[in-house]
Amino acid sequence: MRRVSVFGATGSIGQSTLDLIGRAPEAYHVVALTGGRNVKNLAEDARRLNAEIAVTGYDACLPALKEALAGSGIEAAAGEQALLEAADRPTDWTMSAIFGAAGLAPGLRSLRHGGTLALANKESLVTAGPLLLSEAAKHGAKVLPVDSEHSAVFQALVGEDIAHVERVIITASGGALRSWPKEKLATATVADASAHPNWDMGQRITIDSASMFNKAMELIEAKEFFGFRPDQIEVLVHPQSLVHALVGFNDGALMAHVGPSDMRHAIGYALNWPERAHLPVERLDLAKIGQLDFSAPDFERWPALTLAHHVMERGGLSGTIFNAAKETALDLFIAGEIGFQDMARLVERVLQKFWAEEPSATNGHNNAVIPLENTLEYDQIARIRAREI
């Protein structure tokens, strides 16, 4: 039996992961499941999958979790420290799918016992890519991408020499507001930005798709994970979301990964790697689909993409600041305090402030490993600066 833990089990990625694990309960021993406020679901899943321990990220949710697990023999715990302790329990495979920078520390910790970390939490790479990968190398742990585009690139690279890669193209659907006239974007509401045409995802990442911050994060994620140069990574708008990424080689070949818009494909690939196994996802009928469309991204419409390029070129703690400012801007947009286009303006102003005032922390240290404490400190300061601005 493979020992598995799922961090962020109550979320969109977490639920898709449990769907796959729950189809073959004889193959898995579930160690830890973690969630946030949704303790009812967390307890139900922990009972159904017979987990060792269920952890909520919030102390205030512990009484409800204990009550929901009463009589089950399953341990209950709460808080950041409990998440780290859950990550200390050895597993063969761990899913990192907590949303945001909160997912960084538990994912990092789980690398200590070796095993495989399936990384949906892109914030970990954007915030602390060199740290995460060096920890993995130090402990002989394997990190596998779960973000669909990065899983696609990873699959296209199987058996290839990375030195033969000229460029990598990750696709973007364009999100809920792709066909809106640019002049109207300033008026977009949370509801407008939350209606994704193809993917069924959590609300925050859906809004990040509409603003292209999700793709901006993914550019940085690709640079950090695969080690490509910023000028090798491109974005291509592809409204159908069926081609997830393309890898261009030095002989002119482009290897495209085509698959359904269902995260269970990328999750299942990481779960079964290095094998492939049957997955319960749709089989595409390309004759019926008929047409796939591609276009260049409009950098004026989506300033987040330009910001990501600046962040990649700067390095240092720029990714940490970018992510923290983005998360704060998103909170403010969801709370109705700033407009849709203010998110990118705010992130840009926070970055510029740090670049002007702390050039050494945010420049010239490309790929240097920055300790977790410094990373979390800058994450917090960037959130405060964003709110001040």
Interface positions with ligand NDP (CB under 6 A)? 8-14, 35-38, 57, 97-99, 102-103, 120-123, 147, 199, 201-202, 204-205, 263
Residue 247: left if φ>0, alpha if ψ -120 to 50, beta else—which one?
A: beta
How many Cβ atoms sit within 10 Å of the Cβ of residue 134? Answer: 15
DSSP track, 184-212: GGGG--HHHHT--SS----HHHHHHHHHT
Number of residues that bind Mg ion (CB under 5 A): 3
List the one residue from 147, 224, 327, 379 that touches Mg ion (CB under 5 A): 147
Binding partner at 248 among Mg ion, ligand NDP, none, C-beta below 5 to 8 Å by kind: none
Binding partner at 115 among ligand NDP, Mg ion, none, C-beta below 5 to 8 Å by kind: none
**Residue 139 Cβ, how far from ligand NDP at the closest point, in Å?**
22
Q: Pick the closer one to ligand NDP by CB: 114 or 202.
A: 202
- CB-count burial class (<10 Å; 0-12, 13-18, 19+) for 84: middle
**Residue 185 Cβ, how far from ligand NDP at the closest point, in Å?**
22
* Positive or negative: CA dihedral 344, 190, 261, 225: positive
Q: Pick the closer one to ligand NDP by CB: 133 or 201.
A: 201
**Residue 235 Cβ, how far from ligand NDP at the closest point, in Å?**
15
**Residue 379 Cβ, how far from ligand NDP at the closest point, in Å?**
13
Region binding Mg ion by CB under 5 A among candidate stretches 25-33, 149-157, 183-191, 377-385: 149-157
Binding partner at 220 among Mg ion, ligand NDP, none, C-beta below 5 to 8 Å by kind: none
**Residue 147 Cβ, how far from Mg ion at the closest point, in Å?**
4
Q: Which position's Cβ is nearest ligand NDP?
A: 11
Q: Pick the closer one to Mg ion by CB: 45 or 149.
A: 149
**Residue 382 Cβ, how far from Mg ion at the closest point, in Å?**
23
Contact assessment for residue 262 and residue 282, using Cβ atoms and an 8 Å cutoff: yes
Binding partner at 14 among Mg ion, ligand NDP, none, C-beta below 5 to 8 Å by kind: ligand NDP
Which amino acid appears at position 54 of this protein?
A: A
Q: Pick the closer one to Mg ion by CB: 115 or 259.
A: 259
Who contacts 34 (Cβ-Cβ below 8 Å, separation ≥6)? 5, 6, 7, 8, 9, 42, 54, 55, 56, 57, 83, 86, 98, 106
Binding partner at 319 among ligand NDP, Mg ion, none, C-beta below 5 to 8 Å by kind: none
93, 115, 37, 84 alpha-carbon torsion, rounded to 10°: 160
Who contacts 286 (Cβ-Cβ below 8 Å, separation ≥6)? 258
Near Mg ion in 285-314, by CB under 5 A: none
Task: Give the pair of three-digit tokens for residue 294.
Answer: 């591609």
Q: Pick the closer one to ligand NDP by CB: 5 or 12.
A: 12
Binding partner at 361 among Mg ion, ligand NDP, none, C-beta below 5 to 8 Å by kind: none
How many Cβ atoms sit within 10 Å of the Cβ of residue 10? Answer: 24
The CA distance from 14 to 18, in Å, is 6
Q: Pick the closer one to ligand NDP by CB: 67 or 160.
A: 67
Q: Pick the closer one to Mg ion by CB: 149 or 224.
A: 149
How many residues comprise the chain?
389
